[in-house]
Structure 1
Amino acid sequence: MRINVLQHTPNEGPGMIQDWSQKHGHEMYIYHPYQFGYLSTAEETDLLVILGGPMSPNDNLSWIKQERDLIKELLNQNKPLFGVCFGAQQITKALGYEVSKAPAKEVGFAPVYRRDAKFLNIPEELNVLHWHEEMFEIPADAQLLFSSDRVENQGFILNHRVVGLQFHLEPKRDNVREIVVNDFPYLKGSVLNQTSKEILETRISDDNKQTLYKLLDYIVEK
């Protein structure tokens, strides 16, 4: 399987998604459209992963619109998509739904709670990394997958092929360090009121990895 990854900032890479890819012997190609302007084609994509970033889907940038065109092609071909934060917002925007300011800016670790999709056998609660102040609408045919205490729309699953998460399951310890040391000013104004030190000292549960793997396994099932 060829996994094409759209990365949107140097400090938010695929993390444990890459581990999952290597575990299954897949080939991963990482694109940086914000810097180089190149995207994969739908024909050469078996799974598209759209990662987070500091931009908004509402920004008037040509590469953001080109990403959505690719997403639409893959949706029409029923190919699997996995979106994280900005990536999940891009998927919903491609489907015709709004991306808007969330009720609260969440930056740091905080719990999310499973809503639907009990068949996936994932935990009812996960302590995850949040790094956002916008949110997506849930597509009409999608299941609400996760909510937090402050933002209801934290995750969705659509047609057995698409998962979008507003939060981050993919970072490993080193990835969290990279995010924090480069983007710590973004902590200002967060309702979670966490310091860089508190975030860096938060343990990442193995449940996050297992949940990520189950979601990826699910959308690529034949």
Structure 2
Amino acid sequence: MNIHFVIHESFEAPGAFETWAHKHGYDVTYSRSYLHDTLPQTANNIDLLIVMGGPQSPATTQDECSHFDAAAERTLISQCITAGKAVVGVCLGSQLIGEALGADYAHSPEPEIGKFPINLTENGRLNHKFSGFGSTLEVGHWHNDMPGLTPEATVIAYSAGCPRQIVEYSSLVYGFQCHMELTPEVVELLIAASENELKAMRDRRFVQQPAALRANHYDDMNQKLFGFLDKLIEEYQISEKRALRH
């Protein structure tokens, strides 16, 4: 199984996603755009594409951020979706999936930074990939925007501050506005990169400050993420076998 990460900034690290991939012994490759790595030109050597978050938006130009090429990332996402690969986007990555499918990203009603509950919709509760989530689950957040919705998209989960926390674009393509991959180590990186941002939003109701961020426990949501990813890979493998038969 080949897992490819697109990572936009060193402080938006893959965290629990990487832990899960290494635990299973999967082959892992990276495009670290902040180091000016190139993106894969095709989807041929990718089974699961994971596009991470970042302070950019899908509208950020290369004049504004030289190492971020939104158009190239949308192309890679489209190639993977067309080829029947599994695709997961986190935060900015989720917004880029929506844009690759023709759905414009939007600003979230509320910024969210910290650990707050998400609520599963009826569709989410009925989706076997999320059977371990329960009806409500506390997860990590660090965002101002949210992914767009295609006509075929299904909202799996929402929060008090954002109506699009997890979106199913197809049975193999998912956008996570929330950050279930956070670990204490990743949170420290984010705090160090966001000092001014956190101070400026100290009065926002869904923004925690560094002491609270450090006090959060992230293991449970990491385990729930692992369960989702295992089921996603199972579905991908079934899809691959079906494709080979035809």
TM range (shorter): over 0.9
TM-score by length of 2: 0.85
Q: Where in structure 2 are the equivalents of 1:181-200 lying within 5 Å? A: 181-187=192-198, 188-189=200-201, 190-200=204-214
1:210 counterpart (200, 205, 223): 223
* Aligned equivalents of 2:87, 2:16: Cα separation in 1: 16
Question: Are 1:9 and 2:16 an aligned pair?
Answer: no
* Contact 2:93/2:175, CA 8 A, preserved across alignment: yes
> What CA deviation, in whole Å up to 9, does each residue of 1:120-146 have, x standing for no partner?
312221212211111122222122111
Stretches of structure 2 lacking an aligned partner (at least 5 in a row): 63-67, 239-246
* Contact 1:162/1:219, CA 8 A, preserved across alignment: no
* Contact 1:37/1:63, CA 8 A, preserved across alignment: no
Please name the residue that 1:201 is paired with: 215
* Aligned equivalents of 1:15, 1:34: Cα separation in 2: 17
* Aligned equivalents of 2:151, 2:173: Cα separation in 1: 13
Stretches of structure 1 lacking an aligned partner (at least 5 in a row): none
Question: Are 1:53 and 2:45 an aligned pair?
Answer: no
Please name the residue that 1:108 is paired with: 114
Deviates more, 1:152-161 or 1:72-81: 152-161
Letter in 1 for 2:46: T
**1:161 CA drift (Å):** 0.4
Q: State the secondary structure of the residue aligned to 2:21.
A: helix
Question: Are 1:137 and 2:124 an aligned pair?
Answer: no
- Root-mean-square deviation (CA), in Å? 1.6
Q: State the secondary structure of the residue aligned to 2:89.
A: strand
* Aligned equivalents of 2:207, 2:152: Cα separation in 1: 35
* Contact 1:5/1:31, CA 8 A, preserved across alignment: yes
Letter in 2 for 1:5: F
Highest CA radius of gyration, 1 or 2? Answer: 2
Q: Are residues 104 and 157 of structure 1, via their aligned partners in 2, closer, same or farther at CA, if it must alter by over 3 Å?
A: same
2:124 counterpart (100, 117, 124): 117
Please name the residue that 1:176 is paired with: 187
**1:205 CA drift (Å):** 4.3
Write out the 4+ residue segments of structure 1 that deviate beyond 4 Å after TM superposition. Answer: none
* Contact 1:163/1:219, CA 8 A, preserved across alignment: no
Q: State the secondary structure of the residue aligned to 1:117.
A: helix
Q: Number of residues paired by the alignment?
A: 221
* Contact 2:56/2:92, CA 8 A, preserved across alignment: yes
> What CA deviation, in whole Å up to 9, does each residue of 1:73-98 have, x standing for no partner?
11111100011000000000100011
* Aligned equivalents of 1:220, 1:66: Cα separation in 2: 25
**1:99 CA drift (Å):** 0.9
Letter in 1 for 2:83: Q
Letter in 2 for 1:33: S
* Contact 1:21/1:28, CA 8 A, preserved across alignment: yes
Q: State the secondary structure of the residue aligned to 1:194.
A: coil
TM-score by length of 1: 0.93
